[in-house]
Homo-oligomer: A and B are copies of this chain.
Amino acid sequence: MGIHNYFKSLSDLEGMNRCPGKFKYQEHSVASHSFKVTKIAQFLGTVEEHHGQELDWRILYEKALNHDYAELFTGDIKTPVKYAMPELKQLFSQVEEMMTRKFIEQEIPEEFQAIYERRFSEGKDETLEGKILAVADKIDLLYESFGEIQKGNPEPLFLEIYEEALSTILRYQEMHCVQYFLDNILPEMLEEGVIPYTQINKLSKHLLGKK
């Protein structure tokens, strides 16, 4: 049995950076991303429940926590590749499933295999939990790209990523949690200023004036 191997593999997710290649001021690992997506999904689920939606928390947490685990097997394929050819995307998903199943058969004890098959399956779907995962995944991507742009990254790709993320989030705007995000959270992000270099001067003069 390989639960030991499974536990060990979790550290590998710490060594896999998202979006490799382009210069970033701050790298984010797949492990950190999974953590943040789960925390974000936790909040989105809280909003949905607050609005009377019935949420299966167990399913939600499972989907969020495990949604990128398979990157351990497949590596990080750039999105344009997956979408270049429909047949490629389909074959790639098949391979991803095959390798996930092989991993489960090799490492997961028989009595837990069914549960882990569900846990490692594709989490984004039309259920409430699946949609919350899709939104949470894009919200983290939005913060990642916003972070780079705000820090001054001149690479245009991050603006494209920001745009794609926000557009996808908007496709779910009939959801309570997305409405909440658009009404309360996004405006705060957009209101963030920078610290103009001149602010140091102002602040210093003010403090020196008080002496």
- Listed in ascending order, the chain A residues whose CB lies under 8 Å from chain B are 1-8, 10-17, 20-26, 28-29, 31-32, 34-36, 38-40, 42-43, 46-47, 50, 57-58, 61-62, 65-66, 72-78, 80-81, 84-85, 87-88, 91-92, 94-95, 98-99, 109, 111-112, 115, 119, 139, 143, 146-147, 149-154, 156, 158-159, 162-163, 166-167, 170, 173, 182, 184-186, 188-190, 192-195, 197, 199-201, 203-204, 207-208, 210-211
Contact = CB atoms under 8 A, between A and B. Distances in A.
A11 B147 contact: yes
A152 to B, nearest CB: 4
B167 A207 contact: yes
A75 B36 CA distance: 20
A7 to B, nearest CB: 6
Contacts of A203: 159, 162-163, 166
B31 A173 contact: no
Contacts of A10: 35-36, 39-40
A36 B11 CA distance: 8
**Interface class of chain A by DSSP:** helix
Contact of A11 (B26, B84, B184, B201): B26
Nearest to A109: B184
B166 A204 contact: yes
A201 to B, nearest CB: 5
A87 B11 CA distance: 32
Contact of A190 (B5, B42, B77, B201): B201
A43 B207 contact: no
A72 B94 CA distance: 24
18 contacts: A2-B188, A4-B186, A5-B188, A17-B20, A39-B66, A50-B111, A77-B77, A81-B95, A81-B99, A149-B199, A152-B194, A153-B195, A154-B195, A159-B195, A163-B203, A163-B207, A166-B203, A170-B208
